[in-house]
Chains A and B, each alone.
Chain A
Amino acid sequence: MKDHCVPALRGYRKPAPGIHPPHLHPDYVSSRKRAPAHPLVPIPQTLSETTGPSFQSHHLRAGADLTVQGKEAPLGQKILISGRVLDEDGKPVRSTLVEIWQANAAGRYRHLVDEHAAPIDPNFIGKGQLLTDDEGRYQFRTIKPGAYPWRNHPNAWRPAHIHFSLFGPAFSTRLVTQMYFPGDPLLPFDPIFNGIRDEAARQRLIAMFDWQTTVPQEALGFKFDIVLRGRLETPMENRP
């Protein structure tokens, strides 16, 4: 043990094998030329890894309601996505930035490189931003995105999904993921979703339909909790 009064550095738990997908996942064709071939080099967590950026409300531009970003309401099934951002110990991750983006109801992104022939919805941009509250809670109001074709393999279709980007308290907790919808028949065929080896970890990326947040006459509710890396119990575990 170190003998000084500097606060002991507590790192973040390493993810168990099988939760995060490998970089090289040949079924996902574009990983083949982009994934490293050398093994990752394990390093200890230092102040560089246990600190990370934070954001305040004045950084945000888009808001959490994706249905009011055009002149009129966007087309599609209105939904509410609610949940909490927690660490592995169940503690709320407070005031952390959540950014989302998604296709419109027809499965088209408002982006120059999206060549899918489905129509653009002039009333839908498809981005949302918020900071979690003191309980780690968040809620976005949006429309259910459509599935869309892509070129990974013959007749490839992405299941409906919403992209999520989260920071958490540290560089170690940064996460970009996707939320899927329950009962989507495309999920068993999607190489991106199935890049996650652990079955339970795959299931955790599927939101749950939720009566509690379903708004009568207006919107279906979905629940999606997001768990980020938690802190190690003792600083001595903080080794590669």
Chain B
Amino acid sequence: MSKEATATGILGLAASQTVGPFFQIGLEDLYQTDLTVPGLTATVITISGKILDADLLPVPDALVEIWQANSFGKYAHPDDYQDKPLDPGFTGFGRCPTNSEGAFQFRTVKPGSVPSSTEAPQAPHINVSIFMRGLLNRLVTRIYFFGDERNGADEVLSLVDPARRSTLLARPDPPCPDAYRWDVVLQGPHETVFFDF
């Protein structure tokens, strides 16, 4: 074991491996593409997109998971210390496999702002994990919302090359109001920004 490995913790971490092509067997029971529950006061939105590889070909065997705050900017988690209301039944978790066209879709609410590492407000965003055959480790990214005035001061967006920030923005997808489009390009000149933390 390398020195670095022992320095970071007492026990050795389990390494990541690919989800492979057959994850449906084990993961489909918890597929959740509609995060909405009765009683939400916020506007319901949809976010649709495709996962595309280096040749811009659709990836038909990816799994997209999302984790988000509710419309008040509160995560359904004990470590969220904010004095903001929870929505009963709104878990903030979604899981959707891509179809034969590489497409996925979630129905949810636009999250509210949550604090950054310096307690400044972050722009509304949804946290995304992407798993697939060919990826030995998940990819992590975020969905922000095009045109939100809070994007300009967002801590995480400010760490991204301005030329690549647009890859993180879900755009209105007319004619449907409250429909957003967000595609993921895995590799190449239009590559989506992926994070490490």
Instruction: Please provide the chain A residues from 77 to 118 with a CB less than 8 Å away from any CB of chain B in the complex.
Output: 86-90, 97, 99-103, 109-111, 113-114
Count of inter-chain pairs, beta carbons less than 8 A = 289
Chain A residues whose CB sits within 8 angstroms of the CB of B186 once the complex forms: 33-36
The answer to whether B5 touches A201 (Cβ under 8 A) is yes
Given contacts A16-B5, A33-B55, contact A43 B134 (CB under 8 A): no
The answer to whether A33 touches B134 (Cβ under 8 A) is yes
The answer to whether A37 touches B14 (Cβ under 8 A) is no
How far is A103 from B117 in the complex, measured between Cα atoms in Å? 43
A141 within 8 A of B: no
How far is A196 from B15 in the complex, measured between Cα atoms in Å? 7
Q: Which residue of A20, A34, A114 is within 8 Å of B22 (Cβ)?
A: A114
B152 within 8 A of A: no
How far is A17 from B7 in the complex, measured between Cα atoms in Å? 11
Chain B residues whose CB sits within 8 angstroms of the CB of A178 once the complex forms: 17-18
A67 within 8 A of B: no
Given contacts A11-B197, A16-B4, A177-B17, contact A111 B9 (CB under 8 A): no
Given contacts A34-B134, A42-B196, contact A126 B25 (CB under 8 A): yes
Chain B residues whose CB sits within 8 angstroms of the CB of A87 once the complex forms: 11
The answer to whether B117 touches A51 (Cβ under 8 A) is no
The answer to whether A50 touches B79 (Cβ under 8 A) is yes
Q: Of all chain A residues, which has the CB nearest B119?
A: A6
How far is A34 from B91 in the complex, measured between Cα atoms in Å? 30
Chain A residues whose CB sits within 8 angstroms of the CB of B115 once the complex forms: 6, 46-47
* Stretch of A22-30, A181-189, A211-219 that contacts chain B: A22-30
Smallest CB separation, B30 vs chain A (Å): 6
* Stretch of B38-46, B153-161, B173-181 that contacts chain A: B153-161
Chain A residues whose CB sits within 8 angstroms of the CB of B54 once the complex forms: 32-34, 37
Chain A residues whose CB sits within 8 angstroms of the CB of B107 once the complex forms: none
Given contacts A36-B186, A126-B25, A239-B117, contact A175 B14 (CB under 8 A): yes
The answer to whether A38 touches B191 (Cβ under 8 A) is yes
How far is A42 from B76 in the complex, measured between Cα atoms in Å? 25
The answer to whether B160 touches A41 (Cβ under 8 A) is yes
Given contacts A46-B155, A62-B29, contact A111 B24 (CB under 8 A): yes
The answer to whether A23 touches B139 (Cβ under 8 A) is yes
Q: Which residue of B21, B119, B138, B187 is within 8 Å of A113 (Cβ)?
A: B21
Smallest CB separation, B138 vs chain A (Å): 7
Chain B residues whose CB sits within 8 angstroms of the CB of A54 once the complex forms: 76-77, 91
The answer to whether B26 touches A163 (Cβ under 8 A) is yes
Instruction: Please provide the chain B residues from 110 to 160 with a CB less than 8 Å away from any CB of chain A in the complex.
Output: 114-119, 122, 125, 127, 129, 131-139, 142, 155-156, 159-160
A229 within 8 A of B: yes
How far is A127 from B30 in the complex, measured between Cα atoms in Å? 12
Chain B residues whose CB sits within 8 angstroms of the CB of A18 once the complex forms: 2, 4-5
A200 within 8 A of B: yes
The answer to whether A198 touches B15 (Cβ under 8 A) is yes
B47 within 8 A of A: no
A31 within 8 A of B: yes
Q: Which residue of A6, A41, A88, A202 is within 8 Å of B15 (Cβ)?
A: A202
The answer to whether B15 touches A204 (Cβ under 8 A) is yes
Please name 25 pairs of A and B residues whose Cβ atoms are closer than 8 Å in the assembled complex, sorted by A.
A14-B196, A20-B13, A28-B18, A33-B53, A34-B134, A34-B187, A45-B197, A46-B116, A46-B155, A53-B93, A59-B30, A61-B29, A90-B11, A101-B23, A102-B26, A111-B24, A129-B26, A163-B22, A169-B79, A170-B79, A177-B16, A192-B18, A200-B12, A228-B14, A240-B197
